[in-house]
Amino acid sequence: GAVVSQHPSWVICKSGTSVKIECRSLDFQATTMFWYRQFPKQSLMLMATSNEGSKATYEQGVEKDKFLINHASLTLSTLTVTSAHPEDSSFYICSARGTSGGANNEQFFGPGTRLTVL
Amino acid sequence: KQEVTQIPAALSVPEGENLVLNCSFTDSAIYNLQWFRQDPGKGLTSLLLIQSSQREQTSGRLNASLDKSSGRSTLYIAASQPGDSATYLCAPTGGSTLGRLYFGRGTQLTVWP
């Protein structure tokens, strides 16, 4: 299957700082990338959908000014958690879908980024 | 809104058993359905993708069936092994052009030697 990478794999930061997480599709072009958050023992919660070259679509209850998403190319999307607080500590996972076939395409997930805010 | 339920929530079995993991979803207007496994602290690994027009897909010891009209999918694992221990998630793809996935809480599987 296709490969999606995330960087960093884990990050610890102080409250009030901003953290950027990168999601890359390594061997395919991704028109659409998705960002999820997962709390311990919970399932994945979709935060936003990002399409290359356009603004991200955020799920209800997700603050777009706090979670900035940029999808500047067909292989890279970034999530920036601005002014992070301890309650933002979570496991953030991205997924990417290829350019052909539209919504029928399989989604491939990155390995996740563990964010801990002190 | 699509809701996904997976039964059982947890399963602990000795190796060698054939397993059945169930998934149900409330909105049958889906494009496809994916099964994933997630190891602790890791991302998701795609196991099988079933298009809405298909009834089943097979990969090695895994077989997934889909009954779209009744909102059900089943993952069969043959001859289970300790390496199969993980959380298994099913995720139908929604009816919008964005093709978002909807996740349930998964089935936590433990296969002991």
On whether the CB atoms of residues A62 and A69 are closer than 8 A, the answer is: no
Q: What is the pLDDT of residue B20?
A: 97
Distance from CA of B104 to the nearest CA of A (A): 6
Residues of chain B with Cβ-Cβ distance to A97 below 8 Å are 99
B14 touches chain A (CB under 8 A): no
The Cα angle at residue A91 between residues A27 and A29, in degrees rounded to 5: 15
Three-state SS at A72: strand
Q: Do A108 and B100 touch (CB under 8 A)?
A: no
Q: Residue A103: which of B44, B49, B99 has the nearest Cβ?
A: B99
Q: What is the pLDDT of residue A107?
A: 84
Identify the closest residue of chain B to A59 by CA–CA distance.
Answer: B100
A43 touches chain B (CB under 8 A): yes
Mutation target to probe the A interface, by most A beta carbons within 10 A, among B93, B100, B105 is B100
Question: How many whole angstroms separate alpha carbon B13 and alpha carbon A26?
Answer: 37
Q: Do A32 and B106 touch (CB under 8 A)?
A: no
pLDDT in tens, B79-113: 999 999 999 999 998 755 567 889 989 999 999 99
Q: Side chain identity at A28, as an amino acid letter?
A: F
Q: Do A104 and B99 touch (CB under 8 A)?
A: yes
Identify the closest residue of chain A to B89 by CA–CA distance.
Answer: A43
- Torsion from C-alpha of B108, B110, B76, A95, nearest 10 degrees: 50
B49 touches chain A (CB under 8 A): yes
Q: Side chain identity at B11, as an amino acid letter?
A: L
pLDDT in tens, B33-72: 999 999 988 999 999 999 989 999 999 999 999 999 999 9
Residues of chain A with pLDDT under 70: 1, 99-104
